[in-house]
């Protein structure tokens, strides 16, 4: 299994800090933000990792990840020239993934306090998403469950069918790249990850895990601060 660490985006909500530093290198207590999603991959035994980043300060990410070989991984870097959606960013890794090889994709500003390694290691085929109950599901992709079965997925619905948000951690088999190649841009001009997820849902091959512990999308000053507090409290 290959890991795909998606660190795109301009970090506009974290300016002026991101004017001089890549968002993924901002501090979360005593480590850079990128350390935490990267640890999800490492805990699952994934050391072949494709890092997809924007053009902003890419040299900083390369230097941090490669300098002193801190993580003992084989990193490959891909540049997303302009924001085009998570699915587009994921598609940039196609040449680095062997035929038949599954992928674990994670957003570079997401922190997980659940243990996900066993689920990742056990993945064989289809698609798998990690969900979390939130108070404002209209801000996210939203999954509807019947029992343990995913029955619908919507992107930022005005009238959400549940409060279960799709978090930034995804497992897909190798067919995902064919799915991406056939996606059409959404109304906002991006290739949506929810359209990929929906493809697996339509094949009846989508499964889900509902997270019980904290999940943080650290894209704002408030969430970045909350992440630092939790990391310190939980000593991770």
- Kindly indicate the confidence band of residue 188, based on its pLDDT and cuts at 50, 70 and 90: confident
pLDDT at 209 over 90: yes
Q: What percent of the chain has pLDDT over 70?
A: 97
What per-residue confidence (pLDDT) applies to 199? Answer: 94
Chain center to CA of 114? 15
- Kindly indicate the confidence band of residue 157, based on its pLDDT and cuts at 50, 70 and 90: confident
Q: What percent of the chain has pLDDT over 90?
A: 50
Q: Which residue has the higher pLDDT, 81 or 141?
A: 141
Of 168, 48, 157, nearest to 109 by C-alpha is: 168
- Kindly indicate the confidence band of residue 85, based on its pLDDT and cuts at 50, 70 and 90: confident
Listed ranges 18-32, 79-93, 131-145; the one with the highest mean pLDDT: 131-145
pLDDT at 10 over 70: no
Q: Which 8-state DSSP code applies to residue 28?
A: E
Mean pLDDT of the chain: 88
Listed ranges 133-142, 168-177, 225-234; the one with the highest mean pLDDT: 168-177
Q: What angle do CA 122, 123, 129 make, to 5 degrees?
A: 120
Q: CA torsion sign, 21 to 22 to 25 to 29?
A: positive
pLDDT tens digit string along 94-117? 888 877 889 999 999 999 999 999
Quote the pTM value.
0.92
What domains are defined for the chain?
2-234 (3.90.550.10)
Chain center to CA of 86? 8
Q: Which of 37-41, 46-50, 88-92 has the lowest mean pLDDT?
A: 88-92
Of 98, 34, 96, nearest to 60 by C-alpha is: 34
pLDDT at 61 over 70: yes
pLDDT at 178 over 80: yes
The DSSP-derived string for 133-163 is E-S-GGGSEEEEEETTEEEEEEES-SS-S-S
């Amino acid at each position: 299994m290959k890991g795909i660490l998606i660190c795109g985006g301009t970090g506009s909500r974290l300016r002026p800090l991101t004017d001089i530093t890549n968002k993924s290198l901002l501090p979360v207590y005593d480590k850079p933000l990128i350390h935490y999603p990267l640890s999800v991959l490492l805990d699952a035994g994934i050391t072949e990792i494709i890092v997809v980043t924007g053009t902003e300060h890419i040299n900083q990410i390369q230097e941090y990840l490669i300098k002193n070989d801190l993580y003992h991984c084989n990193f490959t870097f891909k540049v997303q020239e302009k924001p085009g959606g998570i699915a587009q960013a994921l598609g940039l890794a196609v040449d680095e993934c062997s035929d038949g090889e599954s992928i674990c994709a994670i957003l570079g500003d997401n922190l997980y306090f659940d243990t996900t390694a066993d689920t990742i290691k056990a993945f064989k085929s289809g698609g798998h998403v990690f969900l979390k109950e939130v108070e404002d599901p209209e801000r996210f992709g939203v999954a509807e469950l019947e029992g343990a079965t995913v029955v619908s997925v919507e992107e930022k619905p005005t009238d959400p069918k549940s409060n279960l948000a799709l978090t930034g951690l995804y497992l897909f088999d190798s067919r995902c790249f064919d799915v991406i190649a056939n996606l059409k841009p959404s109304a906002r001009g991006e290739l949506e990850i929810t359209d990929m997820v929906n493809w697996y849902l339509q094949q009846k091959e989508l499964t889900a895990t509902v997270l019980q512990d904290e999940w943080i999308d650290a894209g704002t000053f408030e969430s970045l601060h909350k992440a630092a507090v939790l990391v310190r409290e939980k000593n991770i």
